Structures are given as structure tokens and as C-alpha cells.
């Protein structure tokens, strides 16, 4: 079962140029999986929240292509908030991590590289169900969610 310590901050290569910088991401080179789906969130209204789920199998790389936003991450035992605001640095999330995205700045764009195609049965959308599953898979853990 994944824990918050398994989440990695990854930097994309940056090619600097007076005309503007360029970054890129490659499967199995920068991202440790083949991405089968790429999607992005944009025009998120002020105060709105996205996410609010976990995945049974899917892994993701999440990056702020433009602007900024926060991700609240939860492994069923503890929570932490991470602020993303660099177009060359993102988070690699393993499966079974609950995520909520909020605090979107005006004009922000969140891009997600996903290890699997969309499958509704891979989503856990009920937080209590997620916590029960996470804690039953890790019975030796007894930490409280912060």
C-alpha cells in the first residue's frame, strides 16, 4: 500500500533560451511509466475543488503547466498539502493516494499524465471507503489522519 513518503517530486529537463524555456517529459525516462492518457484542468472557478478520489491501480504525474494550485494528499493515515507552481516540477503519485486539488490561481492549468486509460472501476470516490481499504491493507499502522 502506498504511503505519502512514496510520493516523489520530479523535475522535467529545462532547456533555457533567451527566446523562452522548453521542458519535456518522456515515458520510462523521466516518468517511470508509459502514460496512456494525458488530461488537463483549466478555467477552474475560484474556490472550486477538483479530485476528491483515489485510484486502485492508476499512477499519475501532476504538474502546474501555468499558474498554481494545491494538492491535498492522503494515504489513509496522514495528510499533507503541496503547492505546485513551477511548469517544470510536478508530483509522481502512486496508486491508493487520495487527492484533492484546490486553491487554483487565475489562469492555472493542471496537466496529468496517467499510467492507464480511463476506467471508472479504478476510482474510489468515497473517502470512508478509501480509508477503510487503506487501513485494512496496512493493519500494522495506527497513525491518525492529521
Active site residues: 53
Q: Which three cell numbers, joined as nine digits, stand for 30?
A: 523521466
Query: Can you spell out the DSSP letters for 44-91?
Result: PPTT--EEEEEESS--EEEEEEES-EEEEEE-SS-EEEEEE--TTEEE
Supply φ then ψ for residue 4, to 5 degrees.
-60, -30
Amino acid at each position: 500500500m502506498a504511503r505519502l513518503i512514496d510520493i516523489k517530486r520530479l523535475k522535467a529537463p529545462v532547456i533555457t533560451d533567451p527566446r523562452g524555456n522548453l521542458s519535456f517529459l518522456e515515458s520510462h525516462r523521466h516518468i517511470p511509466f508509459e502514460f496512456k492518457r494525458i488530461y488537463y484542468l483549466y478555467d477552474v472557478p475560484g474556490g472550486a475543488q477538483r479530485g476528491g478520489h483515489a485510484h486502485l491501480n492508476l499512477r499519475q504525474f501532476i504538474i502546474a503547466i501555468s499558474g498554481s494550485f494545491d494538492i491535498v494528499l492522503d494515504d489513509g493515515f496522514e495528510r499533507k498539502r503541496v503547492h505546485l507552481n513551477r511548469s517544470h516540477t510536478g508530483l509522481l503519485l502512486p496508486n491508493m493516494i487520495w487527492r484533492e486539488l484546490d486553491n487554483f490561481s487565475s489562469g492555472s492549468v493542471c496537466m496529468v499524465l496517467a499510467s492507464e486509460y480511463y476506467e471508472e472501476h479504478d476510482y474510489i470516490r468515497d473517502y470512508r471507503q478509501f480509508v477503510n481499504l487503506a487501513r485494512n491493507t496496512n493493519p500494522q499502522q495506527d497513525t491518525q489522519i492529521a
